[in-house]
DNA sequence: GTGAAAGCGCTAACAT
DNA sequence: ATGTTAGCGCTTTCAC
């Protein structure tokens, strides 16, 4: 807990003004070589490192890309890995930010206005709660909000993904297939719901509203929904959950109710977060390329930063079913 | 990309001075209720949010805890999840930072001096490359550097963990057991190496330096080491890797060399990152409680922030072997 | 080539 | 109760 070394300390040590130190450190013209080396010696001796905060107040560029997430959970963590990987070697630092107040709506607006223009050069919003945000920096949204966004977006093909999930269950012989929906304000959740219904109808299975629960992409909420659904007089033999966390909740609830998975109940998730494979039994799920979503968002943001025009402003990536241990033919009556 | 709304805009809109806006927004005394509401109306109307950067320059406290990581890989991602979870509900925001220049040594020093004292109220350093760092904020290190640190630290019991790994292999009948070491500057890596040797000697197996490779906790480096080790005239029948990423590399290299895991070669990792369970076959590993490491670091940092004395400055958590699919008895000759 | 001074957006004395 | 003033650490004109 020592006092921070400021540019003033360096200036004093090198016997020059702070302005000269600034120039020397940032390699500006108009400083003699001797002065530069004297300043840099002082910098080294004192262990000086300019304050991100102070310098970002004055100069526009900071060399930092911000990723705003509501929460660090398996999905956003994968995105972060992808962003980090894509950023490495670009010279940009990565700053991931989670606001303490997760009071739903608009957390990213708050975080964004707190950081943007000053601290970060560009932002990547993960599962934002609003369609558009104003900021003085380039922004890309991953897994965006419903409504046509002005923002460039990156997402998976959730509609087809959901169809893959339901199709898989239908193939196994299931006819009563439940659905635990995701966050209704996200396009991905809406698309997964549509894909579910579409696949049902393609298989000639009538839609039963009793078999749809709200999971909000959240473990606890999904747990409630799963309990309700499995308590139905005519419960489903299979459930498709809009994300893996929800699917894992279902498996847990099923076990608590004495149902064996997959013998008594099949479960399919969505995402394929690393945790899905580790579950017992390993979760059958629809894989979306999370790291690539992150990497693509970086590509876009970097292009925007370079002043380029984006060839594609709304990227959609393919999903693929990964059959593991939570799906099997329905139990026979 | 609109211009940022500043406190001046609010002041102008509400017809008061910026100081009054600041007071109203921060709930300071000495502002009439009418003025407060007029100001807050303007804040809402304009969508004003104070700049983290600007406010942190003036006031000491920002309400942000920083986590400094070299890289976002599976291990640090788990730590982040733990930190995020522990921070939720505390009122603190979480800021994770990765420097672009991963030029080894001292990245955290740079990041820390860029952020500390100004942007963040406290820092958690994950696998730092230096023993001590000076900063004007409380700091806790997770998986710390070798050497007795002045910093409070949180880590797993790597020595016992390594013994568990080797013991498991010995139990299965292995006698030629290789080791892929971790980052030699980290205490955890040193302890895992000692645990390996200790367990070997406890089993009456002579130590063979040819069976030790350097993996640096990195996938690529470990791959090299694995290749070399498996090319030995008398190769090991089992390898213990200092982390899961390295273990996964070994499995990959073994496959490339035509060895079946676990039939021809057993592999044990360390960490139990989510990716370990998803591997094919699922990795046998020594689990360390990464999320808890993160949560404990938060506890410490919060206590420090509250001005409390830490009852324990060097926390060590227990590990446990998780036997999965990459270990089996050695092939018979 | 170098330094003085202004100012980024904000908060905290200090005046009024 | 409100406004004025002085910086926080830095970069950037603009004099010298």
Q: Is A197 at the interface with chain B, CB within 8 A?
A: no
Q: What angle is formed at CA B285 by the lines to CA B282 and CA A322, rounded to 5 degrees? A: 20
Residue range A101-126, pLDDT digits in tens:
666 677 888 888 888 767 999 999 99
Q: What's the pLDDT band for A325 if we cut at 50, 70, 90?
A: very high
For residue B186, what is the DSSP state?
A: B
Q: What's the pLDDT band for B60 if we cut at 50, 70, 90?
A: confident
Res A131: pLDDT? 72
Q: Tokens 């404990």 — which residue?
A: B296
The reply to whether the CB atom of residue A4 sits less than 7 A from any atom in nucleic acid chain D is: yes
Alpha carbons B95 and B86: distance in angstroms, whole number: 14
- B3 CA to centre of own chain: 37
Find residues 85-104 of chain B whose CB sits inside 8 Å of chain A.
85, 87-100, 102
Res B112: pLDDT? 86
Res A1: pLDDT? 55
- Are B95 and A95 in contact, with CB atoms under 8 Å apart? yes
Query: Could you identify the residue whose CA is nearest to the C1' atom of nucleotide C5?
Result: A19
Q: Name the minimum distance, in Å, from the CA of A234 to any CA of chain B.
A: 34
Alpha carbons B218 and B222: distance in angstroms, whole number: 6
Q: Name the minimum distance, in Å, from the CA of A300 to any CA of chain B.
A: 16
Distinct helix (H) and strand (E) counts, chain A: 12, 12
Residue range A218-268, pLDDT digits in tens:
999 999 999 999 999 999 999 999 999 999 999 999 999 999 999 999 999
Residue range A176-225, pLDDT digits in tens:
999 999 999 999 999 999 999 999 999 999 999 999 999 999 999 999 99
pLDDT of B132 > 80? The answer is no
Q: Which of A260-269, A314-323, B102-111 has the lowest mean pLDDT?
A: B102-111
Alpha carbons B69 and A130: distance in angstroms, whole number: 30
| CA distances, A138 to each of A115, A190, A265 (Å) | 13, 26, 46
- B52 CA to centre of own chain: 25
Q: What positions of strand D are covered by protein, i.e. any atom < 7 Å from a CB?
A: 1-5, 7-13
Q: What is the signed CA dihedral for A261, A264, A270, A271, rounded to 10 degrees?
A: 10
Alpha carbons B20 and A301: distance in angstroms, whole number: 38
Beta carbons within 8 Å of A53's beta carbon, 6+ residues apart: A119, B53, B56, B57, B115, B118, B119
A95 to B95: CB separation less than 8 angstroms, yes or no: yes
Q: Which chain A residue has its CA at the smallest distance from B82's CA? A: A72
Tokens representing residue B298 in the block: 């938060």
- Are B172 and B321 in contact, with CB atoms under 8 Å apart? no
- Are A123 and A115 in contact, with CB atoms under 8 Å apart? yes
Q: Which chain B residue has its CA at the smallest distance from A114's CA? A: B51
Q: Which of A1-5, B177-181, B286-290 has the lowest mean pLDDT?
A: A1-5
- Residue B93 is nearest to which of A56, A57, A99, comparing CB atoms? A99
pLDDT of B1 > 60? The answer is no
Find residues 261-300 of chain A whose CB sits inside 8 Å of chain B.
273-278, 282
Tokens representing residue A181 in the block: 């929906």
Res A259: pLDDT? 97
- Chains A, B: CB contacts within 8 A come to 181
Collapsing DSSP states into helix, strand and coil, what is residue B148? coil
Beta-bridge partner residues of B124 = B67, B140
Find residues 108-167 of chain B whose CB sits inside 8 Å of chain A.
109-111, 113-119, 134-138
The Å distance, CA of A57 to C1' of C6, is 14
The DSSP code sequence of A62-120 is --EEEEE-S---HHHHHHHHHHHHHHTTTT-EEEEEE-S---STTHHHHHHHHHBTTTB
The Å distance, CA of A29 to C1' of C2, is 12
Res A57: pLDDT? 87
Question: Which chain A residues are within 8 Å of B93, Cβ to Cβ?
Answer: 97-100, 111
The Å distance, CA of B286 to C1' of C3, is 61
Substitution target from A64, A67, A98, A301 for chain B, most B beta carbons within 10 A: A98
Res A162: pLDDT? 98
Tokens representing residue B122 in the block: 């406290």
Res B140: pLDDT? 95
Q: What's the pLDDT band for A291 if we cut at 50, 70, 90?
A: very high
- Are A290 and A79 in contact, with CB atoms under 8 Å apart? yes
| CA distances, A322 to each of A262, A273, B314 (Å) | 15, 12, 43
Q: Is B51 at the interface with chain A, CB within 8 A?
A: yes
Question: Which chain A residues are within 8 Å of B51, Cβ to Cβ?
Answer: 113-114, 117-118
- Residue A277 is nearest to which of B73, B88, B277, comparing CB atoms? B277
Q: What's the pLDDT band for B36 if we cut at 50, 70, 90?
A: very high
- Are A287 and A271 in contact, with CB atoms under 8 Å apart? yes
pTM of the shown model: 0.92
Residue range B212-229, pLDDT digits in tens:
999 999 999 999 999 999
pLDDT of A40 > 90? The answer is yes
């Amino acid at each position: 807990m020592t006092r921070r070394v400021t540019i003033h300390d360096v200036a004093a040590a090198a016997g020059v003004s702070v302005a000269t130190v600034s120039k020397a450190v940032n390699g500006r013209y108009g400083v003699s070589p001797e002065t530069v080396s004297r300043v840099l010696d002082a910098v080294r001796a004192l262990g000086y490192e300019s304050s991100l905060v102070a310098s970002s107040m004055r100069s526009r560029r900071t060399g930092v890309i911000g990723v705003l997430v509501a929460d660090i959970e398996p999905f956003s963590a994968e995105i972060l890995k992808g962003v980090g990987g894509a950023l490495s070697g670009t010279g940009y630092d990565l700053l991931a930010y989670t606001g303490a107040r997760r009071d739903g709506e608009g957390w990213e607006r708050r975080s964004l206005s707190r950081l943007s223009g000053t601290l970060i050069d560009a932002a990547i919003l993960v599962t934002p709660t609003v369609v558009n945000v104003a900021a003085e920096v380039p922004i890309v949204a991953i897994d965006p909000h419903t409504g046509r966004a002005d923002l460039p977006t990156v997402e998976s093909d959730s509609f087809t993904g959901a169809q893959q999930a339901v199709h898989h269950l239908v193939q196994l012989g299931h006819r009563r297939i439940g659905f635990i929906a995701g966050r209704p304000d996200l396009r991905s959740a809406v698309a997964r719901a549509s894909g579910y219904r579409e696949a049902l109808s393609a298989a000639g299975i009538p839609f039963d509203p009793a078999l749809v629960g709200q999971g909000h992409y959240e473990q606890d909420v999904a747990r409630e929904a799963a309990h309700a659904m499995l308590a139905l007089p005519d419960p489903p033999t299979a459930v498709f959950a809009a994300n893996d966390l929800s699917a894992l909740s279902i498996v847990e609830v099923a076990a608590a109710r004495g149902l064996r998975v997959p013998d008594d109940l099949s479960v399919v998730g969505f995402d394929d977060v690393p945790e899905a494979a580790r579950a017992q039994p390993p979760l059958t799920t629809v894989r979306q390329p999370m790291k690539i979503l992150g990497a693509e968002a970086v590509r876009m943001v970097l292009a925007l930063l370079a002043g380029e025009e984006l060839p594609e402003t709304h990227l959609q990536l393919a999903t693929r079913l990964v059959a593991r241990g939570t799906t099997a033919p329905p139990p026979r009556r």
